[in-house]
Chains A and B, each alone.
Chain A
Amino acid sequence: MGGKTFFLAGFVLCLGFGWAAFPRLLYRTAPQPVQFSHKVHTSSAGMKCEDCHSVLADGRFSGIPAVEKCAGCHASPAGSTKDEKLMVEQYITPAKPIPWLVYAKQPDHVYFSHATHVTLAKLSCEGCHGDHGKTGALRRFEYDPITGYSRDLGEPRLLRIGGGGAARPMRMDDCDACHRRNNVQTGCLDCHK
């Protein structure tokens, strides 16, 4: 076995480490405050996406509904699961916002308008959020402890072996590339207000 073999061995080892082990070592997971099934709400409960996620008359986008909205059906536990009980007792009854960990949360210095992208540009929800709206349970929330950002912002697919995640990354370069592809002019102040 000469130097070439050792070179190849080192090459393959690190290649494997970098693709398989590094993401597992890098990202941390955090539990969502309660479990939630989009599938149950859109199938058994017969709700539409717009019932909770809609562009309001004044142009604002209502992303995550307020607990008052949830209280419409869940003023008392609507089932016998542990999460249902937890949600009613800890959040709905005291009217306390549920501290969801938002997969697509942008940093504070970034302004993103759903209304512009959904109403004006007619982008589909799935185009960015993937099949999130059809899932039976919330997937693990993963974040990068170095930056503090959600994993979905940067590497929803690239470093995720066998996981779900967003349909496309949501970094500034990704916004810029999409705008260029669609011939949409942008300036700094469009997103950094």
Chain B
Amino acid sequence: MNLGRRRWLGLAAGAAAGTLFTPAPWKLIGDSALWSQNWSRIPKLPTGEFNVKYGVCTLCPAGCGIKARCAGDQVFGLTGVPGHPISRGKLCPLGVGAHQLPYHPHRFAGSVARQADGRYLPAELERVAATLRARIASRKSGEAVAVLDERPGRAISYQYRRFTGGLEDGLYLVPPAGEGATLAALSAQSERGASFGFRIGEARAAVSFGAPLLDGWGVPAEVNEARYRSQRPLRIIQAETRQSPTASLADVWLPIRPASETALALAIAHVLIRDGRAPAAVIERMSDGAEYRELVMRYSPEQASRECNIPAAAIEQAARMLADNTPAVAIGGGDAGGGPAGAGAETAIASLNMLLGAMGTVIVGKHELPVPDSWSSPPLSPERRIDSDVPDGSISMLILGDSPSGDALPWPLIERKLAPDHVIVSLSPYAETAARRAHFVIPAPAFMESFEESPGSAVSANPSWAIAQPLVRAPSLAVHPLTFLARLGAAESSIEDLLRQRLEELHKLGKGEIFTPAGTRPIGEFKDAKELWTAMTGGGVWTDSPVLEAARPRRFGVREIASAPARTGRAEFPIMLLPYARRGEAGTTALPPLMSKVYQESRLRLSAPLLRVHPATAAASGVADGASVRVEMRGEGYAGNIAVDASVMPGVIEAPAGPMAALCVNEDCSWRVSPARIKRIS
């Protein structure tokens, strides 16, 4: 048989055609694709025996319990802890992805110094510390050295306070009040600055002035339990310009004009007093009761209706709903991106609580967690708020603390407090908004890499305290803030020792109970602090009943309410800029890469913020959907892209304030509402 060329070609063509009708080529193509993802040169995560460890999430003040699923020493999944007294087995999206934070792409690999051109170069800790020590020693009188601690109340916070307390002109700074703004106002209205907390489960109704009650506020499980209980569920009136998730889920949404919270709070008080639904004895007891009544009587629902741009009937209805469902509570503080409403508005909101029967029922005293006596030497620096208690241009050295609050912290607010020739040191593990401005970065261990603690929510009256054990080994170049403070001259100590000392104080106190995944036991049943330490580092959390008896406010704060600055549009800045964010995702926070990936997949790359405006606002500003614009306010501003959305209130810009967002602040250091204008970028 002659196998000529033609026949060979026929055989080969037949073989090729036949092969196409078998699984072989398709299977090999699929396998090659999978092989390319799995081949031996691709780094493999170290693995080991599967095990479960328990801890506490320290990414926000709520302190939810976490169950870490691990392969050897590698955490590969976080979930809630069933029956946990704080989180009731739940975990938010931030917590679920938080095991990825140690591998964040913007993490610092070691100590760095920023160069004039913005580049970072490695810097030895000893050399940075020597530079800073010399700087502290050579500064002039009046030049302050400050530590900004976004998460006060922790053991490390006391060490910051000891460090600044030992320096002349040392300042211990905390961020603006945020969620606790209403409680801070109540504290200011009380004698000796009493400390308050909410027991939201005791309320039958709540009027929220922009607080994201159903979107991560306070201790989310506490609020959700109250809202969705079968008997007398918490009724919510949401007074907010933006149709936020809480506004969408509330019983009543009052879409008020920006910065009209004071008028609405006073009008609700007007209806309560006019209709005899407010206890007269409370008003008489206050030192400025008569002035408050006079002020409130000027704010009829009709008057407030014009300021708030909602019907007077809606205000009357809201006031009646609150009066019919006492004890009710009024909550301000705004969302994580917008910040507090300002002292005047927060005082008006806080005063409403005295008429709604909230004091002593929903709002009660707050525990101070015990600390060892030795922590008070040298004397602790008093806590000062960076927005209200520090003069502009007074800080010559600023140390930005190790842990973010998750709330927005506008850089212009920090910047205006700095002296012209200043030095900034950041202890953040990540190159976030503030760390990018620092001259030196001494990166602290990331989430899960060292002992941490959760001293409980700033707004919940139910006290709690938990220790998070390290679940992942910290990189060798991470520097714990205590080590850094020791290099600056503070006493050397380890975080584990400090937490053990604090736990010993708690054991001595002998009150409350300890929850562990194995069960709940009274603290008195633990024979010593050592046994308690084992329970606490195994996912334990200490809880106790709240202090029901507390000092009551002595005044309504008419002076503060009356002096609140008006925030209205002007001819050159006719639009109101409203920043917003989800809790835990703003300010100096780093988001888990998984969340960043999901966010970016919708837009494929990091981009300018999407600024949502009403069609009428867009038309008046001469911009269309998708236009690149610059939002300007008093010389400051930032770029963004317009998204035209009919659900936005006319005359308003809704601007997301995520982790890397630029934010502008007003003269009074607030940034919740700012007069602005839109300029198209050609």
Contact = CB atoms under 8 A, between A and B. Distances in A.
A and B pair up: yes
Interface of A: 1-15, 17-19, 22-23, 26, 58, 97, 108, 111, 144, 146-149, 154-155, 158-159, 188-189, 193
Contacts of B45: 108
B7 A3 contact: yes
B27 A159 contact: yes
Given A6-B14, A10-B10, A18-B18, A146 B23 contact: no
Nearest to B14: A10
A158 B8 CA distance: 31
Given A18-B22, A22-B24, A146-B35, A11 B15 contact: yes
B13 A149 contact: no
A12 B18 contact: yes
Contact of B17 (A3, A11, A144, A158): A11
Contacts of B77: 111, 193
A1 to B, nearest CB: 7
B35 A6 contact: no
B83 to A, nearest CB: 9
Contact of B10 (A6, A18, A111): A6
A155 B11 contact: no
Contacts of B647: none
Interface in B1-55: 1, 6-19, 21-24, 27-28, 30-32, 34-35, 38, 45, 49
Contact of A13 (B18, B34, B76): B18
Contacts, number: 97
Interface string B47-89: 0010000000000000000000000000011000010000000
Contacts of B7: 1-3, 6
Given A3-B10, A147-B38, A13 B31 contact: no
B205 interface: no
Given A13-B18, A58-B82, 7 more contacts: A1-B7, A2-B7, A3-B6, A15-B21, A18-B24, A146-B34, A147-B31
A13 B15 contact: yes
Given A1-B1, A9-B14, A11-B15, A18 B38 contact: no
A188 B598 contact: yes
A29 to B, nearest CB: 17
Contact of A18 (B8, B19, B35): B19
A10 B38 contact: no
B18 A10 contact: yes
Contacts of A3: 6-7, 9-10
B96 interface: yes
A130 B34 CA distance: 26
12 contacts: A6-B11, A6-B14, A10-B13, A10-B16, A11-B14, A13-B14, A14-B15, A14-B22, A15-B22, A18-B19, A149-B34, A189-B594
Contacts of A10: 10-18
A22 B6 contact: no
Of B1, B6, B17, B18, most buried by chain A (CB within 10 Å of CB) is B18
A13 B12 CA distance: 11
Interface of B: 1, 6-19, 21-24, 27-28, 30-32, 34-35, 38, 45, 49, 76-77, 82, 96, 594, 598
Given A3-B6, A11-B14, A18 B21 contact: yes
Contacts of A58: 82
A94 to B, nearest CB: 14
B14 A7 contact: yes
Given A1-B1, A19-B23, A26-B27, A7 B13 contact: yes
A4 to B, nearest CB: 7
A9 B16 CA distance: 11
A11 B96 CA distance: 54
Given A15-B22, A22-B22, A7 B10 contact: yes
Given A3-B9, A58-B82, A188-B598, A147 B35 contact: yes
A47 to B, nearest CB: 25
A149 B30 CA distance: 12
Contacts of A97: 49
A4 B6 CA distance: 10
A148 B38 contact: yes
A144 B31 contact: yes
A22 B19 CA distance: 11
Contacts of B8: 6
Nearest to A19: B22
A148 B27 CA distance: 14
Of B22, B38, B598, most buried by chain A (CB within 10 Å of CB) is B22
Contacts of B15: 10-11, 13-14
Given A6-B7, A6-B10, A15 B18 contact: yes
A34 to B, nearest CB: 20
Contacts of A14: 14-19, 22
Contacts of B22: 14-15, 17-19, 22
Contacts of B14: 6-14
A3 B9 CA distance: 8
4 A-B pairs closest in CB distance? A18-B22, A10-B14, A14-B18, A3-B10
B27 A155 contact: yes
A189 B21 CA distance: 36
A91 B594 CA distance: 39
A114 to B, nearest CB: 15
Nearest to B2: A1
A2 B8 CA distance: 11
A188 B602 CA distance: 13
Given A1-B1, A10-B18, A18-B18, A147 B23 contact: no
A147 B18 CA distance: 25
A52 to B, nearest CB: 18
A20 to B, nearest CB: 9
Contacts of A13: 14-15, 18
B23 A158 contact: yes
A70 to B, nearest CB: 18
Of A5, A15, A159, A188, most buried by chain B (CB within 10 Å of CB) is A15
Contacts of B28: 146
A143 to B, nearest CB: 12
Contacts of A8: 14
Given A7-B11, A58-B82, A155 B34 contact: no
A146 B31 contact: yes
A11 B18 contact: yes
A51 B316 CA distance: 62
Contacts of B10: 2-7, 10
A193 B38 contact: no
Contacts of A1: 1, 7
